[in-house]
Amino acid sequence: MRGKLTLEELAEAVAAGTIDTVLVALIDMQGRLMGKRFQAEFFLESGWRETHGCNYLLATDFEMETVPGYAATSWQAGYGDYTMRPDLSTLRVVPWLPGTALVLCDVEDHRTHAEVPHSPRTLLKGQIARLEAMGLRAMMASELEFFLFEQSYAELQAAGYRGLTTLGAYNEDYHIFQTSKEEDVMRAIRTGLNAAGIPVENSKGEASAGQEEINVRYAAALEAADGHVIVKNGCKEIAFAKGRALTFLAKWNDRAAGSSAHVHQSLWTLAGEPAFLDADSGGMSPLMRGFLAGQLAHAEAITYFLAPNINSYKRFAAGTFAPTKAVWSDDNRTAGWRVVGEGSKAIRVECRVGGSDLNPHLTYAALLAAGIDGIERGLELEPEFRGDAYVADAREIPKTLRAALEALDGGAMLRGAFGDAVVEHYLHAGRWEQAEYDRRVTDWEIARGFERA
């Protein structure tokens, strides 16, 4: 059995004994799967309609802290339940876990059954609906990078994350021999995801030791974002099963490249015509120019959603292929935005700003909201940037979480697109992340100053 399943196909598989477990999961603020493992018979009996989860799941941090100060939920409000509503169009087998299927959920208010406005999936669906009202559909893809390690998660955790040894010892960009040594994990990832209905295009070595990239065929925005979350979870589960660890941290080591999640975007008419292609010139249509202009105009305000963690900002280093400037260029990898595929139906915008730790639903929602604003206001696209953007005097991408939060706070566009309460919710998440970091003493400070201060 492969790929997506209907409820009837699931019932048949359960009757045949090939599936016994259904993972029922929402997508949290960090872009992770959170939910329950259903006995398949019970899922078929009632779980497919709805289940429940504590509402702190959309108000917590990486470490599942009950973060104080959220308007949406708190100890004061009793940390009640959300309704988790399975979206049966996402039901699929998980080939790398024995006898298992997975379904993703929308998140609803327990009483009113309105979708929770700060749920990442809801936010993306909101921007997709805006585009649909304009007669447009967004097709998206994330190019996900990560680092593979010799050790297992348990070994690394026990060692306090010291002595991390990458699988491979040298820059493996496009390297076939080195990536052959990683095939035990990577082949299982490619074939596993493909059999889960996530059409993998390829994997390749990247510009640091142990660094890999996985590319999935572009799809409608929600399908692509859901796929991105499943890819990340699947990569970790498959590495775990092989006794290896891998990380989607944006920067795990200051001597290695960072890991990106470049986002490819194109708009199409509802009839399937490429709305980004100017049929006469083969270049960018006016609609595409407005879309790209919108993303550049709001580059600072949307950065939080491309780089949501303290660690995300360690990746923005010159000369590492990670962009530092919010400029656009045709096929120039030093620019934050790249136009790819000119002269063909595949003409698209690649946003290179985001790191591999981003939440795809939030990122896609913020990018689409900025692009829609550019189209609606008919923004003029600035001239293409040429040369080395690292050294250019050009619009900077915020270099710290603090600066990105200030830009998010001060921007009106996302407040209009997402609603004030949602922006405040994510500002709170970002400020908590900043505060958690600020109160920690790092290894670097001790090594640098212990004796010499």
Q: Cα separation of 161 and 143, whole Å?
A: 26
- CA dist 132 to 128, 220, 259, 364, Å? 6, 12, 32, 15
Name residue, tokens 């990486």.
62
Q: Does 136 bind ligand ADP (CB under 6 A)?
A: no
Which range in 28-36, 116-124, 155-163, 260-268 contacts ligand ADP by CB under 6 A? 260-268
The DSSP secondary-structure symbol of 397 reads: P
Asked if 359 contacts 294 with a C-beta cutoff of 8 angstroms, the reply is: no
Joined together, the tokens standing for residue 80 give 């009640």
Among 38, 48, 56, 218, binds ligand ADP (CB under 6 A): 218
Which range in 11-19, 73-81, 86-94, 133-141 contacts ligand ADP by CB under 6 A? 133-141
Asked if 180 contacts 203 with a C-beta cutoff of 8 angstroms, the reply is: no
Q: Does 287 bind ligand ADP (CB under 6 A)?
A: no
Asked if 310 contacts 401 with a C-beta cutoff of 8 angstroms, the reply is: yes
Pick 106 or 143: Cβ nearer ligand ADP? 143
CA 159 vs. chain centroid, Å, equals: 28
Amino acid identity at 340:
V
Among 44, 346, 392, 427, binds ligand ADP (CB under 6 A): 346
Closest CA to 212 of 241, 237, 189, 240: 189
Contacts of 341 (CB under 8 A, 6+ apart): 347, 348
Q: Shortest Cβ distance from residue 218 to ligand ADP (Å)?
A: 3
Q: Shortest Cβ distance from residue 272 to ligand ADP (Å)?
A: 12
Pick 140 or 230: Cβ nearer ligand ADP? 140
Q: Does 220 bind ligand ADP (CB under 6 A)?
A: no
Asked if 292 contacts 348 with a C-beta cutoff of 8 angstroms, the reply is: no
Pick 70 or 218: Cβ nearer ligand ADP? 218
Considering CB under 6 A, how many residues would be counted as binding ligand ADP?
15
Which range in 69-77, 171-179, 263-271, 437-445 contacts ligand ADP by CB under 6 A? 263-271
Joined together, the tokens standing for residue 377 give 């206001």
Which range in 22-30, 261-269, 290-298, 369-377 contacts ligand ADP by CB under 6 A? 261-269
Which range in 57-65, 137-145, 284-292, 316-324 contacts ligand ADP by CB under 6 A? 137-145
Q: Shortest Cβ distance from residue 47 to ligand ADP (Å)?
A: 33
Name residue, tokens 């009640």.
80
Q: Shortest Cβ distance from residue 348 to ligand ADP (Å)?
A: 4
Pick 61 or 201: Cβ nearer ligand ADP? 201
Q: Does 295 bind ligand ADP (CB under 6 A)?
A: no
Q: Shortest Cβ distance from residue 183 to ligand ADP (Å)?
A: 20
Pick 173 or 201: Cβ nearer ligand ADP? 201
Q: Shortest Cβ distance from residue 213 to ligand ADP (Å)?
A: 9
Among 97, 216, 287, 353, binds ligand ADP (CB under 6 A): 216
Q: Shortest Cβ distance from residue 436 to ligand ADP (Å)?
A: 34
Among 264, 289, 314, 428, binds ligand ADP (CB under 6 A): 264
Pick 145 or 357: Cβ nearer ligand ADP? 145
Closest CA to 391 of 334, 352, 338: 334
Q: Does 60 bind ligand ADP (CB under 6 A)?
A: no
Closest CA to 414 of 63, 54, 130, 46: 130
- Please state whether beta strands 100-109 and 200-205 pair in parallel, antiparallel, or not at all (unpaired): unpaired
| Cα angle value 62/67/71 (rounded, 5°) | 125
Q: Does 232 bind ligand ADP (CB under 6 A)?
A: no
Joined together, the tokens standing for residue 268 give 């199409």
- Please state whether beta strands 261-269 and 211-216 pair in parallel, antiparallel, or not at all (unpaired): unpaired
> What are the E-state strand segments in 238-292?
245-247, 261-269
Asked if 177 contacts 170 with a C-beta cutoff of 8 angstroms, the reply is: no
Q: Does 228 bind ligand ADP (CB under 6 A)?
A: no
The DSSP secondary-structure symbol of 55 reads: G
Closest CA to 236 of 446, 33, 3: 33
Q: Does 348 bind ligand ADP (CB under 6 A)?
A: yes
Among 116, 141, 389, 413, binds ligand ADP (CB under 6 A): 141
Q: Cα separation of 168 and 191, whole Å?
A: 22
Among 73, 122, 259, 266, binds ligand ADP (CB under 6 A): 266
Q: Shortest Cβ distance from residue 356 to ligand ADP (Å)?
A: 14
Q: Cα separation of 365 and 302, whole Å?
A: 10
Q: Does 190 bind ligand ADP (CB under 6 A)?
A: no
Q: Does 340 bind ligand ADP (CB under 6 A)?
A: yes
Q: Does 143 bind ligand ADP (CB under 6 A)?
A: yes
Name the residues that contact ligand ADP, by CB under 6 A: 139-141, 143, 201, 215-218, 264-266, 340, 346, 348
